[in-house]
């Protein structure tokens, strides 16, 4: 194969991706922050920060989809004689003698060198603090003394990122700042309803500053040549309205070999209502002073950085594999888990493809994201489940999204996506299996956040299942509603108005026959989980003796949740699951694969009879995961059909053949050009469903070959230019075989792909599966797999599990736990350190 240009490489030892050329084919970004204060940062230091919510609490400004791309960020300008440069190359783009960007676990370090000066900036958000640290180290590597002029730069967003981009008649008059020593405070709207402000500080005396953008940049200049910098003269401007910024000016002299650190801090402060001001019009800066005091020296910053690294050591120590295959190990041990944490934190709200204003936290998205991080931070997973369930409606339906700042359901998007309820079971079961904490089911959780409406979380699960059962169509298959997992399969939408969103347009629900095979499969998978859960609750405490929450005392004023109730409930739901399986076999099978849906009129979608889009991936994934009709050969045929019709060099496409025209009855799916997004793109998110189907069917070779096709580390070398987006994380979509440019990736970072890739590899391929009573071992491997070891912390236990595949794809022959033979495939949980040997 032709040698492609490379822009970087993995450094596994430091858990970093090292970018060595700033002109990547697309900005390659990273995320800073783990709770509350977050930043996005590109390989040239572009990006922005926000507090909790990228829409309602944006701290710095960013210009999406601009010219040039990736416009706005935290920029350091170094003026050395007549040369002005930035350590991250942009925005001046002065050619550098050396450039490197290291994206690590919640930090980024960018280093540039020019004319004997090295400037290295470490960016991170310290744990539990509301600020971004930018530690700049300037070093004189030349043999002469250097006198430099250093300018920092941040541009304030006027908090609401949406109105900031449009309501200029107001915005241009509201901006306000204060300057105190080396700190620039941004206090727009603080005089009225806001109780929060931001600041930009440096731990050194400054010789000047600017806070008015036009004064600093010059109306006809650009970020690449700000007037103040080019002339080497700050204007000490004080912003009144227009666009407030923060720029420090520092004169630095460095002897040969000398180096100096500067700690810049971008902070966010909230004050109590009655403590907002220290004098009329003067903001109360006590908390800002305190925060600055915690991070005003290199030593303090280095300590905070060490704490952050220690957190990641711990998080990544919970599941660690050694297979001897670096490409696999680095994804499993580092990047896949890291991406899962990022998707948990951001859901689908803020990336370089998600503008932070459009979408909050998705109901289904966040439940899925849970399986990606529940092993690392169970308490936050628990809280997330409660938050999500609190937005549910009393009939089991759900808001499709909620805003992280308010945790309220998002009225703009509404509900009616009929797969949503099932995901609550998916997330909750994953949580309980990991932690053994059944007490979560006891939590009182409201509907639509209405105080007084609380019922137990268990009842939320129950009404979730019931929502599906109560919304069946003519074939006894689930009605799709507004859409199922595929937000673009809008079978009740019928839109001819291009200004209408497919997701929120008035749905025609009356008389609809539109049913979803994807929800059918999902219902069977989660229904089995629910039945299993009820059976366990019926024999309270059984098998849970060693778990922290062995005593389950479910009470509720809605229905008496007694053991007898749970037995009956398990039976009731088993019947519903069986009925669904029958319905799929009878009305959901097309001969070689599962149908995808029935449309409004009851016509087949995803059938050989259709002109286009004869086969879809979602129903193959979910119905094979549900193992529907496995005994009749349906699963094997469906999986073979995926290989035959959906698979291509870059992964499996969503549907085949692609739609070539808009179909009024189908909605957004047919609005996309061939091969993109939901119209026959490789929607990486649903490839793992088929892979899990393969694993359950014991077809390890096939599972692995599908998996490797969308595994970033495998794609890395091949596609540094074709793929375009970050080679260290999955993207939502890779252009499919019908696209103009197959293999081109888009929408990186925030995608359910992260959690699904993790779930697939950790539990189904490597086969380490948390279960109520312990860890189930059931790998499914390519026959070329060699011995490997997984270190898995589980509740209070620490297992070292070595698997000897012996050329087998599936089937565990023998397990020993600390030398003793174990019956079956579950290692019974007991606290402490254990050694496990598994022979296949």
Residue 838 near residue 812, CB atoms below 8 Å: yes
Q: What are phi and psi of 270, to 5 degrees?
A: -120, 135
Among the candidate windows 388-396, 486-494, 630-638, 788-796, which touches ligand NOJ by CB under 6 A?
486-494
Task: Determine if 590 is a binding residue for ligand NOJ (CB under 6 A).
Answer: no
Pick one of 44, 486, 655, 762: the residue that binds ligand NOJ (CB under 6 A).
486
Least distance (Å) between residue 341 CB and ligand NOJ? 17
Pick one of 296, 487, 529, 726: the residue that binds ligand NOJ (CB under 6 A).
487
Report the candidate in 216, 186, 16 with the shortest Cα–Cα distance to residue 110. Answer: 16
Task: Determine if 788 is a binding residue for ligand NOJ (CB under 6 A).
Answer: no
The catalytic position among 210, 212, 419, 487 is 487
C-alpha distances in angstroms, 360 versus 17, 196, 286, 369, 405? 28, 21, 32, 14, 9
Task: Determine if 716 is a binding residue for ligand BGC (CB under 6 A).
Answer: no
Q: Which is nearer to ligand NOJ, 389 or 822 (CB)?
A: 389
Least distance (Å) between residue 482 CB and ligand BGC? 10
Structure tokens at 283: 């903001």
Least distance (Å) between residue 742 CB and ligand NOJ? 20
Task: Determine if 674 is a binding residue for ligand BGC (CB under 6 A).
Answer: no
503 binds, among ligand BGC, ligand NOJ, none (CB under 5 to 8 A by kind): ligand BGC
Q: Which is nearer to ligand NOJ, 442 or 487 (CB)?
A: 487
Task: Determine if 369 is a binding residue for ligand BGC (CB under 6 A).
Answer: no
Q: Which is nearer to ligand NOJ, 132 or 678 (CB)?
A: 678
Task: Determine if 485 is a binding residue for ligand NOJ (CB under 6 A).
Answer: yes
Q: Which is nearer to ligand NOJ, 487 or 716 (CB)?
A: 487
- Residue 458 CA neighbour count, 13 Å, CB half: 27
Task: Determine if 503 is a binding residue for ligand BGC (CB under 6 A).
Answer: yes
Residue 16 near residue 103, CB atoms below 8 Å: yes
201 binds, among ligand NOJ, ligand BGC, none (CB under 5 to 8 A by kind): none
C-alpha distances in angstroms, 605 versus 51, 518, 662? 44, 12, 15
Helices marked H in 347-415 — which ranges? 363-373, 378-389
CA atoms of 762 and 329, how far apart (whole Å):
11
Q: What is the DSSP string of 712-756?
A: HHHHHHHTTTTT-S-TTS-EEEE--TTSSSTT-EEEESSSTHHHH
3-state SS class at 222: coil
Identify residues 641-680 at the interface with ligand NOJ (CB under 6 A). 678
Least distance (Å) between residue 119 CB and ligand NOJ? 39
Q: Is 487 a catalytic residue?
A: yes
CA atoms of 507 and 504, how far apart (whole Å):
8
Q: Which is nearer to ligand NOJ, 493 or 576 (CB)?
A: 493
Least distance (Å) between residue 668 CB and ligand NOJ? 9
Q: Which is nearer to ligand NOJ, 348 or 475 (CB)?
A: 348
For residue 249, the cross-strand partners are 151, 208
Q: What is the DSSP string of 248-285?
A: EEEEEEE-TT-EEEEEEEEEEEE--GGGSEEETTEE--
Task: Determine if 487 is a binding residue for ligand BGC (CB under 6 A).
Answer: yes
Report the candidate in 735, 740, 727, 624 with the shortest Cα–Cα distance to residue 678. Answer: 735
Q: Which is nearer to ligand NOJ, 366 or 547 (CB)?
A: 366
Least distance (Å) between residue 678 CB and ligand NOJ? 5
86 binds, among ligand BGC, ligand NOJ, none (CB under 5 to 8 A by kind): none
Task: Determine if 677 is a binding residue for ligand BGC (CB under 6 A).
Answer: yes
Report the candidate in 387, 404, 395 with the shortest Cα–Cα distance to residue 449. Answer: 387
Least distance (Å) between residue 365 CB and ligand NOJ? 5
Q: Which is nearer to ligand BGC, 488 or 703 (CB)?
A: 488
Q: What is the DSSP letter of 671?
A: G
**# of chain residues touching ligand NOJ (CB under 6 A):** 9
For residue 270, the cross-strand partners are 196
Task: Determine if 434 is a binding residue for ligand NOJ (CB under 6 A).
Answer: no
Least distance (Å) between residue 487 CB and ligand NOJ? 4
Pick one of 47, 104, 126, 362: the residue that binds ligand NOJ (CB under 6 A).
362
CA atoms of 721 and 734, how far apart (whole Å):
13
Residue 332 near residue 754, CB atoms below 8 Å: no
Q: Would you tell me how many other CB atoms lie within 10 Å of the CB of residue 429?
A: 20
Task: Determine if 489 is a binding residue for ligand BGC (CB under 6 A).
Answer: no
Q: Which is nearer to ligand BGC, 438 or 749 (CB)?
A: 749
CA atoms of 162 and 585, how far apart (whole Å):
48
Residue 543 near residue 532, CB atoms below 8 Å: no
Pick one of 15, 139, 364, 462: the residue that binds ligand NOJ (CB under 6 A).
364
Task: Determine if 488 is a binding residue for ligand BGC (CB under 6 A).
Answer: yes
Structure tokens at 5: 């240009």
3-state SS class at 451: coil
677 binds, among ligand NOJ, ligand BGC, none (CB under 5 to 8 A by kind): ligand BGC
Pick one of 365, 459, 569, 590: the residue that binds ligand NOJ (CB under 6 A).
365
Task: Determine if 248 is a binding residue for ligand NOJ (CB under 6 A).
Answer: no
CA atoms of 227 and 212, how far apart (whole Å):
12
Q: What is the DSSP letter of 44?
A: T
Annotate 542-600 with three-state secondary structure. CCCCCCCCCCCCCCCCCCCCCHHHHHHHHHHHHHHHHHHHHHHHHHCECCCCECCEECC
Among the candidate windows 105-113, 358-366, 534-542, 707-715, which touches ligand NOJ by CB under 6 A?
358-366
Least distance (Å) between residue 417 CB and ligand NOJ? 8
Q: Which is nearer to ligand NOJ, 134 or 486 (CB)?
A: 486
Q: Which residue is nearest to ligand NOJ (CB)?
A: 487
Q: Which residue is nearest to ligand BGC (CB)?
A: 487
Least distance (Å) between residue 501 CB and ligand BGC? 8
Least distance (Å) between residue 687 CB and ligand NOJ? 13
CA atoms of 426 and 428, how far apart (whole Å):
6
CA atoms of 233 and 182, how far apart (whole Å):
17
Report the candidate in 148, 262, 250 with the shortest Cα–Cα distance to residue 208. Answer: 250
Pick one of 118, 515, 590, 678: the residue that binds ligand BGC (CB under 6 A).
678
Q: For the window 338-357, what string marks contact with ligand NOJ as x by the rule CB under 6 A?
A: ----------x---------
Task: Determine if 596 is a binding residue for ligand NOJ (CB under 6 A).
Answer: no
CA atoms of 658 and 682, how far apart (whole Å):
11
Residue 669 near residue 490, CB atoms below 8 Å: yes
Least distance (Å) between residue 668 CB and ligand BGC? 6
Q: Which is nearer to ligand BGC, 622 or 683 (CB)?
A: 683
Q: Which is nearer to ligand NOJ, 348 or 384 (CB)?
A: 348
Q: Which amino acids are annotated catalytic?
A: 487
Kindly list the residues in this chain that would bind ligand BGC in the complex (CB under 6 A).
487-488, 503, 668, 677-678
Kindly list the residues in this chain that would bind ligand NOJ in the complex (CB under 6 A).
348, 362, 364-365, 485-488, 678
């Amino acid at each position: 194969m032709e040698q492609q240009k490379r822009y970087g490489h993995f450094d596994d030892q430091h858990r970093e991706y090292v970018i060595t050329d700033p002109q990547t084919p697309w900005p390659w970004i990273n995320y800073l922050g783990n709770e509350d204060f977050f930043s996005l940062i590109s390989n040239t230091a572009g990006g922005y920060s926000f507090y909790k919510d990228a829409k309602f609490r944006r701290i710095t400004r960013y210009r999406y989809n601009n010219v040039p791309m990736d416009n706005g960020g935290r920029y350091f300008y170094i003026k050395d004689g007549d040369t002005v440069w930035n350590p991250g190359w942009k925005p001046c783009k002065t050619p550098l003698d050396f450039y490197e960007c290291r994206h690590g676990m919640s930090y980024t370090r960018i280093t540039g060198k020019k004319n004997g000066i090295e400037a290295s900036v470490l960016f991170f958000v310290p744990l539990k603090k509301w600020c971004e640290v930018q530690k700049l180290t300037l070093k004189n590597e030349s043999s002469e003394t250097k006198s430099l002029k250093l300018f920092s730069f941040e541009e304030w967003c006027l908090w609401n990122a949406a109105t900031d981009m449009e309501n200029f008649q107001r915005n241009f008059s509201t901006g306000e700042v204060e300057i105190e020593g080396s700190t620039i405070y941004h206090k727009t709207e603080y005089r009225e309803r806001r109780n929060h402000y931001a600041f930009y500080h440096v731990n050194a005396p400054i010789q000047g500053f600017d806070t008015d953008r036009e004064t600093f940049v010059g109306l006809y200049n650009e970020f690449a040549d700000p007037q103040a910098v080019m002339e080497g003269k700050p204007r000490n401007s004080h912003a009144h309205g227009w666009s407030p910024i923060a720029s420090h000016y520092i004169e630095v002299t460095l002897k040969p070999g000398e180096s100096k650190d500067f700690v810049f801090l971008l902070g966010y402060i909230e004050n109590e209502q009655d403590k907002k001001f220290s004098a009329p019009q003067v903001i109360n800066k006590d908390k800002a002073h305190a925060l600055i005091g915690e991070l005003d020296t290199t030593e303090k910053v280095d300590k905070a950085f060490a704490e952050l690294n220690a957190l990641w050591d711990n998080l990544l120590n919970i599941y660690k594999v050694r297979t001897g295959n670096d490409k696999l190990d680095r994804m499993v041990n580092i990047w896949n888990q890291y991406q899962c944490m990022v998707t948990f934190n951001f859901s689908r709200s803020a990336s370089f493809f998600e503008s932070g204003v459009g979408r909050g936290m998705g109901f289904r998205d966040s439940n899925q994201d849970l399986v990606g991080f529940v092993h690392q931070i169970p308490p936050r997973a628990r809280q997330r489940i409660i938050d999500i369930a609190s937005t549910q409606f009393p009939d089991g339906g759900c808001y499709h999204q909620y805003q992280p700042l308010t945790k309220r359901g998002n009225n703009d998007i509404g509900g009616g996506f009929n797969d949503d309820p099932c995901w609550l079971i998916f997330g909750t079961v994953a949580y309980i299996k990991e932690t053994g904490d059944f007490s979560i089911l006891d939590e009182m959780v409201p509907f639509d956040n209405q105080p007084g409406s609380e019922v137990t979380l268990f009842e939320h699960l129950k009404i979730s299942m019931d929502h599906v059962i109560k919304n069946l169509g003519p074939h006894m298959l689930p009605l799709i509603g507004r859409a199922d997992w595929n937000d673009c399969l809008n079978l009740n939408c019928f839109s001819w108005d291009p200004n209408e969103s497919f997701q929120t347009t008035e749905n025609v629900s009356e008389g609809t026959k539109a049913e979803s095979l994807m929800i059918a499969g999902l219902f069977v998978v989660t229904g089995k989980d629910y039945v299993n859960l009820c059976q366990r609750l019926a024999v309270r405490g059984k098998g849970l003796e060693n778990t922290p929450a062995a005593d389950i005392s479910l009470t509720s004023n809605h229905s008496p949740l007694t053991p007898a109730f749970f037995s009956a409930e398990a039976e009731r739901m088993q019947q519903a699951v069986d009925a669904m399986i029958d319905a799929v076999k009878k009305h959901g099978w097309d001969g070689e694969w599962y149908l995808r849906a029935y449309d409004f009129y009851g016509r087949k979608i995803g059938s050989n009879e259709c002109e286009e889009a004869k086969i879809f991936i979602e129903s193959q994934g979910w119905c094979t995961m549900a193992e529907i009709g496995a005994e009749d050969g349906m699963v094997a045929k469906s999986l073979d059909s995926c290989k035959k019709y959906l698979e291509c060099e870059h992964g499996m496409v969503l549907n085949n053949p692609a739609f070539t025209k808009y179909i009024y009855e189908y909605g957004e799916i047919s609005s996309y050009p061939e091969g993109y997004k939901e119209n026959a793109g490789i929607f990486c998110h649903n490839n793992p469903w088929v892979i899990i189907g393969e694993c359950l069917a014991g077809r390890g070779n096939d599972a692995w070959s599908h998996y490797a096709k969308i595994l970033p580390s495998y794609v890395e070398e091949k596609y540094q230019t074709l793929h375009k987006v970050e080679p260290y994380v999955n993207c939502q979509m890779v252009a499919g075989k019908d696209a103009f440019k197959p293999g081109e990736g888009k929408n990186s970072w925030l995608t359910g792909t992260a959690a699904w890739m993790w779930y697939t590899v950790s539990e189904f391929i490597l086969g380490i599966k948390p279960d109520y009573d312990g860890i189930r071992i059931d790998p499914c491997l390519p026959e070329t797999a060699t011995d490997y070891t997984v270190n898995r912390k589980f509740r209070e236990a620490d297992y070292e599990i070595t698997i000897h595949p012996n050329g087998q794809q599936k089937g565990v022959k023998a397990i020993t736990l600390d030398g003793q033979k174990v019956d079956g495939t579950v290692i019974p949980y007991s606290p402490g350190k254990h050694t496990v040997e598994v022979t296949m």
